[in-house]
Amino acid sequence: MAETTETLKSNILEMLEETFLEPRGIYLDRAKGGLLATLEKISAEVASRESQNQRSIAAHVEHVRVYVVALHGYMNGATSPTDWDASWQTHSVTELEWQALREGLKAAYQALVTDLEKLDDNDVKLSDGMAILVHTAYHFGAIRQLLLTDA
């Protein structure tokens, strides 16, 4: 029987897949789905809700998308500063805008994974993938908490 060698790269890719696509029980409940599936079940109306102390789900999604794009860019040599304040300026969205936000996040995730898969198993650039994983997991948790307040 062939033994699979785990590497930093394979672990990061597996956890990114768990976070964005399909939980396998590494750290998320399998039954609840990954971030992208969770977002598909949310209407633009729910995604737009804000309270005095919380940003909208749409704002979290746009911030995560910008973060993924920015860190992916840095991983590939980009040096331009990112306007993090602007990444939080999405408040309410229409159904079309909500669909575009979700598609933008999915495309950013897919582009990132494509580049991560090309890296050597222990490339230092994988640290950007780890940062994206941790940051996204935080916001995914925040989104789940916001959904609980809407229940």
Question: Interhelix angle for 126-150 vs 8-20, to 10°?
Answer: 20
Distance CA 130, CA 86 (A): 23
**Among 30, 46, 38, CA closest to 141:** 38
Separation between Cα atoms, residue 49 and residue 26, nearest integer Å: 30
Q: At what angle do helices 95-118 and 57-75 cross, to 10 degrees?
A: 30
Task: Return the CATH fold of 8-150.
Answer: Four Helix Bundle (Hemerythrin (Met), subunit A) (1.20.120)
Query: Residue 13: how many CB atoms within 10 A of its CB?
Result: 19
8 within 8 A of 126, measured Cβ to Cβ: yes
pLDDT (mean) for 136-142? 94
Distance between CA atoms of residues 134 and 15, nearest Å: 10
In residues, how long is the chain? 151
Report the C-alpha gap between 63 and 56 in whole angstroms.
11
Q: Locate tokens 């409940």: which residue?
A: 29
| pLDDT band, very low/low/confident/very high, at 1 (cuts 50, 70, 90) | very low
Task: Give residue 150's pLDDT.
Answer: 58
Calpha distance 36→46 (Å, rounded)? 15
User: Looking up tokens 């940062």, which residue turns up?
Assistant: 131
Question: Whole-model pTM?
Answer: 0.91
Q: What is the pLDDT of residue 4?
A: 57
pLDDT (tens digit, 9 = 90+) per residue, 114-136? 999 999 988 898 988 899 999 99
Query: How confident is the model over 49-107, as pLDDT tens digits?
Result: 987 788 999 999 999 999 999 999 999 999 999 999 999 999 899 999 999 999 999 99
Domain locations along the chain = 8-150
